Structure formats: structure tokens, C-alpha cells
Structure 1
């Protein structure tokens, strides 16, 4: 497998888990995402975008990363262009780092939806901010090794049918979930989390690290 980390412009914190997830991967930065490279201690092989959001005071080695420049009037976001570049280089697995938060909610939504579409095409995709991570759910059954108490939600991108959740504080048994329902929001891991989906498009959003107290 060839795993690429795509540095996106959303929020990102460095954690031991994130370090393990990106260790040994090839790296491509999407415009402002280059700013995460120094924090993570990685060197992108390519920097993609229209370069309208370049961070100030980049160190010389990052400023010298080879660029693939696109005009501002384009049909794809910088993030999607960076993902396309990774696919052209043989990516079979993607870590989308900085996929959540930031100033552009529309870009964050795109990353979620695009991850689901890529997973449907056979690509392994992980979205992460360091503090939370997303994994597309395909029809079938999948298990996850999260610790007890981990907060998670199942985000539906369509009506869901045959959804079962075990190893959770609030289990579900072969239920139907209408698109836009909050039924699958804010659950907690209790044991070995397993999710089965009969039909629909969904994404698991988990918080492997405790949320700060409000």
C-alpha cells in the first residue's frame, strides 16, 4: 500500500496517535496546509493550490517545496487537487490531516463527503484534526479499537437502513435512520465498538482524546 498524508487548511493538533498514523507516509500539502508541516516535522514532496493562503514566515525548506500552481478561478478546491495529485502518484490510502474546522465550513463538509465517495471507490481514508477523526462507513460490518468512554457519532449522508451499533453505551439493532436525524449523535464506546450498515452513506466521527471541559 502507498499511503499519502494530505495537509489541509483546517484545525490540527499534534498527538502521539497522529504521529503514528502519518509515520512513513508520503506528504502533499494543499495551499495553507503547508503550515502544518513544521508542527508535524514532515517535508511535503509537493505543494498544490492557487497559493492565495500561503502562511507568512515559512522556513526556507518549506518555501522551496515543489509547487503545482492553479488559477484562483478553478473547478476544484485546493484540497481536492492535492488528493488528485496523490492518486496520480499511486495512493491507495489517504490521511486527510486538518480536514475539520478552520475558517471554511464548506471545505470541511467537502472533505467529509469526498472521503465517503473515495471509500466507495475502494480507497482507505482517515480524516483527522488530531483531536477527532473520521472514518467512512460502507455497507457491511467494521470494528474499531477505541478505548471505553470515547465519544463518537455516526453521521449519515443519506437515509440509513440496517444500522447496528454494539460495544456502545447506547446500542442500536438493525434500525433505520432518516437523513438529518440526530439519533446517532453523541454515543460512547463501551467495550469493542462494532458498526454494521445495510444500506446508505455514513461516516464515523470519533474523539480519541478527551474533549476540553466547557
Structure 2
């Protein structure tokens, strides 16, 4: 399994309920729905414990289908996204890992915000991934992470800052104690030979994998 989250946050972006995503979702001991993300619950076969947000992107069908869920409702004029509010709820259970499903695609500002939120959580010691189903993004911070990828899976290391001490093993192209400056494409479009080991001494990045 590519990722086994202890907490699952359902966001309202595009989502395809791929076998890998459904398997990962089923491992979560806590599910939090953020606003319109609740509509992904049925496709993933999960039941949210709580429904969070300002409820500006839900419809009557959502409200009827999930009327039994406990809600935490916020005003539309607020200083945090629904993803952040849902993450705050999830963090109260002290998870070692969080998956944001439905966090890629859609509106660019929210997509970038979700990715930055993932990195911020990883810096706090919470392993974090964001997925649309076919595409997964993993926050990469020191000391690194291990990914159990199928041979032939494309993956990329995208620097969000200057990176130092980069080690990539298990890809068609490896690196040893390398530097990848912000804006570098040197880590893009690698191909997994199997399990991939990614080490990082300094900096922050996203690892993007396109699953078959």
C-alpha cells in the first residue's frame, strides 16, 4: 500500500475512487469531511465522524444524505480554509499520518494551499499526502520518506525551497547528497524500479507520483 493514513480528510476537489485510494481511505481510524468533500465519502466507502466548514459548497442532496453527521459550522468570512479547519479537527486525535482526498485539481489557489498545508503538517512530524486518486503528492521534509511504488511508476521531486543533501534510491535515476535549487527540474519525471527511498538534509519539497 502506498499510504496508510490514520486520519482521512475529505476535500471538495476532483476525485476518482481508484482502488489505491479506496484501500488507503479504509485504513483511517478518523474521517473528517470538509464542506463539499462529504460527497466523496460514499465513493470511498467511509463514514465521516464530523462534518466541518462554512457549507457554501454543499447542496440539498448532501444535506439530506448526511443530515445525521455532527457538524462544526463556521461563517463564510473566516481566516482559515475548510481544509485547515478539518485538519485542526483531525489533529486532535494525534494522528501519525493524514491523507487529504480530493485536494488536487480544481481551483489553483486551494490546490496550492492544500499542498502547503501538507508540508506544514509534515514539518510538525505528521506524514501527509494529498490525492485525487490517480495523482498523489507527498510532503517531503527532513529526514525523508519511503514510498512503496510499483515498478514503472512515474514520480517527481519538486523543490519548494532550495534542497540540500538529496538522496534518491530505487528510481531509474538516482542522486547522492545532491543539491536541487528552487525551480530546478532535475528531479522531475523519474521512474520507480520498485520501492523508492528519498532522503533530504535541508529544505522542503513535494513528491508527486502518478499511479497506474
TM-score of the superposition, structure 1-length normalised? 0.89
1:129-144, aligned counterparts within 5 Å?
A: 129-144=132-147
Question: 2-side partners of 1:48 and 1:113: how far apart?
Answer: 20
Question: 2-side partners of 1:43 and 1:190: how far apart?
Answer: 36
Partner residue in 1 for 2:17: 14
Partner residue in 2 for 1:29: 33
Cα gap change, 1:92/1:198 in structure 2, threshold over 3 Å: closer, same or farther? closer
TM-score of the superposition, structure 2-length normalised? 0.90
Root mean square deviation, CA, Å: 1.9
Structure 1, residues 87-110: CA drift from partner, whole Å, max 9, x if none? 1244332111111002x1111111
Post-superposition offset of 1:59? 7.0
Partner residue in 1 for 2:91: 87
Structure 2 residue runs without a partner (length 5+): none
CA contact (8 A) 2:137 2:208 kept: yes
Partner residue in 2 for 1:159: 162
Structure 1 residue runs without a partner (length 5+): 210-214
Cα gap change, 1:140/1:24 in structure 2, threshold over 3 Å: closer, same or farther? closer
Question: 1-side partners of 2:27 and 2:143: how far apart?
Answer: 30
Q: How many residues align?
A: 208
Question: 1-side partners of 2:193 and 2:113: how far apart?
Answer: 31
Question: 2-side partners of 1:40 and 1:55: how far apart?
Answer: 19
Cα gap change, 1:191/1:28 in structure 2, threshold over 3 Å: closer, same or farther? closer
